[in-house]
Amino acid sequence: MAGYETRDRTSRWISVAFLQGTEADAVLGLIDRSGASAAFDYLQPRDLGDATTDAALENGYVYDRIPAGRTDHIIEHDGSPYALTYSRTYRYVSLLRWYPLEPELKPARNASRQDDIWAAPRSTRLAERTVTL
| Confidence (pLDDT) at 36 | 92
For position 6, what pLDDT does the model report? 43
5's CB contacts (< 8 A; 6+ apart) are 65, 66
Over the chain (133 residues), the average pLDDT of each successive run of 10 is: 46 94 96 95 95 95 92 88 95 95 55 54 48 42
| Count of CA atoms in the C-beta half-sphere (13 A) of 104 | 2
Q: Compute the distance between CA of residue 99 and CA of residue 14 in angstroms, rounded to an integer.
A: 7
| Closest to 74 in 3D by CA, of 66, 111, 105 | 66
Q: Is the pTM of this model over 0.75?
A: no
Angle between helix axes 36-43 and 22-34 (nearest 10 degrees) is 130
What was the pLDDT predicted at 133? 41
pLDDT of 88? 95
